[in-house]
């Protein structure tokens, strides 16, 4: 365990560790089962094992030694736990003025390989899983102070591209040359290949020509690649995604001889049915294919070259591959081969798997044409949001309406893919993806817009330094403040687990607590944020601004905009 980033929770842990003479890393804070019991609880079970004493006795001993500090007001023993109450004005001051996501990654680099579509095919809706999960992780690591290298490792090499070249040679170039036409050409080739298996050989032969520098193959392939990149960029731009490196598999072509020679030199290569492989049977894995019988290389070979290049170029602390769980074996093989080749940094590679997108209970795929296009979903989401916002705000400026519609529509789509644990499968439904109801992106964006509305309606300058946090004495205010103080630890936990869902759930909790506080004034006018007393109003506005900041930061972690009006 490491100390919490929340300084109040950290103070609880340090007190228990010092009182019992044990390392702070043994202890972790939690919330007591009921709010009236305290703000934080620390169990002493690890110390009980080390000191060979009953946990309740150790908790009582530590609590008896407590002396109040500027952040901790009270400590009481409750069985094997010590319950703490913190000084409320100090925690309010922390969330109003403090840095909620501290810099803990300074000097470390994380490479994140995400999105990585195949060229000559549309970005289909199922591509959004890798794209938005990887983008969220990049944002999360950057917020924590890491240097992040976002990498789009394009699938622009391999037999599938040979198939497209073979289709082009048979039926000619589609006019106009668009990604839709290229995708149709590919689907047609796959369909006819099912009836005429000899076409598969043609595809392999064309890729062999491409790999060996055939001028015509390279010329046509370059056209296909350029058309694809142009369309990809329009979608990435809409989603606010920018990569630090865009490299196709093809760009590692020159490195392949060096990789194969290195594996040969280290005695890792063998022959299997005419193919060159690395035998991994002693690790209970099938062999990793390095070169096919016809001499063509595979994406695994190119992944070896890419991993070596990335470590040379970036000296990463971690290198993540945000790829669906069906590729788990491939990444196990990749790490194993690099380890056997003598690269100690291979253990820093990690596969970040995620579940599949299904339509009608079936896996989507361009090979069958069973796809929903991502650009169509984004456009539909924006249109629906524009209509709904216009209905609620008929006087909204057209430019502001357009901006809000895009932010809310895209937010709905992105959040729909980050609101559940990433390894769960997702069943595509237009209703669910575009929903504004319940646990949705627009629900969180609306809470942010509401905080902005409160601050606008206040019509006064907010002086957070001068406000008296002791005036924030309501239970709903306190529950919200405790949750806001958790943002740093939530962000770190999301990075440790490579799980953006952690941030999503946190934001929903913040929204629920803010709503409870906001609506408390409906029953008791004295609890209204914009109440009559000037000093109390300033303190409540400061808490409202802190909530707005946390929601905005949290949405930014997920790659979602935070509009001020909806």
| Structure confidence at residue 368 (pLDDT) | 45
CB 163 within 8 A of CB 367: no
pLDDT for 488 beyond 80: yes
pLDDT band at 360 (very low <50, low <70, confident <90, very high): low
pLDDT for 492 beyond 80: yes
Contacts of 272 (CB under 8 A, 6+ apart): 279, 287
296-305 pLDDT, tens digit each: 788 899 999 9
CB 13 within 8 A of CB 3: yes
CB 352 within 8 A of CB 323: yes
HSE of 19, CA atoms in CB hemisphere, 13 A: 23
Contacts of 251 (CB under 8 A, 6+ apart): none
| Structure confidence at residue 362 (pLDDT) | 62
Q: Strands 318-322, 109-113: parallel, antiparallel or unpaired by DSSP? A: parallel
195-233 pLDDT, tens digit each: 999 999 999 999 989 988 999 999 999 999 999 999 999
pLDDT band at 421 (very low <50, low <70, confident <90, very high): very high
Nearest CA-CA partner of 95 in 514, 381, 426: 514
For 64-73, 95-104, 368-377, which range has the lowest pLDDT when averaged over its residues? 368-377
């Amino acid at each position: 365990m490491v100390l919490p980033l929340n300084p109040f929770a950290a103070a609880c842990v340090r007190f228990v560790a010092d009182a019992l003479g044990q390392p702070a890393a043994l202890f972790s804070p939690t919330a007591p089962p009921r709010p009236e019991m305290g703000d934080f609880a620390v169990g002493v079970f690890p110390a009980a094992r080390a000191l060979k004493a009953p946990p309740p006795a150790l908790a009582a001993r530590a609590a008896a030694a407590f002396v109040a500090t500027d952040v901790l007001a009270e400590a009481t023993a409750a069985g094997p736990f010590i319950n703490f109450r913190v000084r409320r004005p100090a925690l309010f001051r922390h969330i109003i003025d403090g840095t909620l996501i501290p810099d803990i990654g300074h000097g470390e680099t994380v490479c994140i390989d995400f999105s990585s579509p195949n060229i000559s095919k549309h970005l289909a809706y199922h591509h959004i899983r890798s794209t938005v999960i990887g983008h969220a992780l990049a944002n999360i690591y950057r917020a924590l102070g890491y240097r992040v290298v976002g990498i789009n490792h394009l699938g622009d090499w391999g037999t599938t591209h040979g198939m497209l070249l073979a289709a082009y040679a048979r039926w000619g170039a589609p006019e106009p040359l668009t990604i839709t036409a290229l995708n149709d050409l590919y689907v047609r080739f796959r369909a006819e290949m099912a009836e005429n298996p000899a076409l598969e050989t043609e595809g392999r032969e064309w890729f062999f020509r491409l790999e060996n520098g055939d001028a015509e193959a390279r010329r046509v392939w370059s056209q296909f690649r350029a058309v694809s990149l142009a369309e990809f960029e329009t979608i990435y731009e809409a989603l606010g995604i920018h990569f630090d490196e865009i490299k196709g598999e093809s760009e590692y072509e020159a490195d392949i001889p060096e990789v194969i020679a290195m594996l040969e030199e280290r005695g890792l290569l063998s022959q299997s049915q005419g193919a060159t492989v690395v035998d991994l049977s002693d690790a209970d894995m099938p062999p990793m294919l390095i070169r096919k019988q016809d001499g063509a290389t595979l994406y695994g070979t190119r992944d070896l070259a890419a991993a070596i290049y990335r470590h040379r170029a970036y000296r990463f602390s971690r290198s993540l591959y945000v790829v669906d769980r069906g590729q788990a074996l491939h990444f196990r093989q990749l790490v194993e081969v690099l380890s056997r080749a003598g690269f100690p940094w291979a253990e820093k590679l990690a596969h970040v798997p995620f579940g599949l997108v299904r339509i009608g209970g079936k896996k989507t795929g361009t090979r069958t044409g069973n796809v929903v296009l991502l650009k169509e979903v984004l456009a539909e989401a924006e249109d629906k949001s524009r209509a709904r916002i216009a209905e609620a705000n008929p006087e909204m400026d057209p430019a502001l309406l357009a901006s809000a519609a895009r932010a809310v529509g895209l937010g709905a789509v992105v959040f729909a893919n980050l609101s559940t644990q990433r390894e769960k499968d997702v069943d595509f439904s237009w209703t669910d993806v575009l929903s504004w109801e319940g646990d949705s992106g627009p629900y969180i964006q609306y809470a942010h817009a509401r905080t902005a509305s409160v601050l606008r309606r206040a019509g006064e300058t907010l002086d957070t330094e001068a406000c008296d946090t002791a005036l924030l004495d309501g239970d709903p205010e306190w529950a919200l403040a405790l949750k806001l103080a958790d943002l740093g630890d939530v962000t770190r936990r999301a990075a440790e687990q490579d799980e953006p869902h952690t941030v999503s759930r946190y934001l929903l909790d913040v929204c629920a607590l803010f709503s409870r506080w906001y609506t408390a004034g409906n029953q008791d006018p004295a609890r209204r944020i914009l109440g009559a007393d000037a000093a109390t109003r300033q303190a409540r506005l400061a808490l409202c601004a802190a909530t707005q900041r946390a929601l905005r930061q949290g949405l930014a972690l997920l790659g979602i905009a935070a509009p001020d009006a909806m």
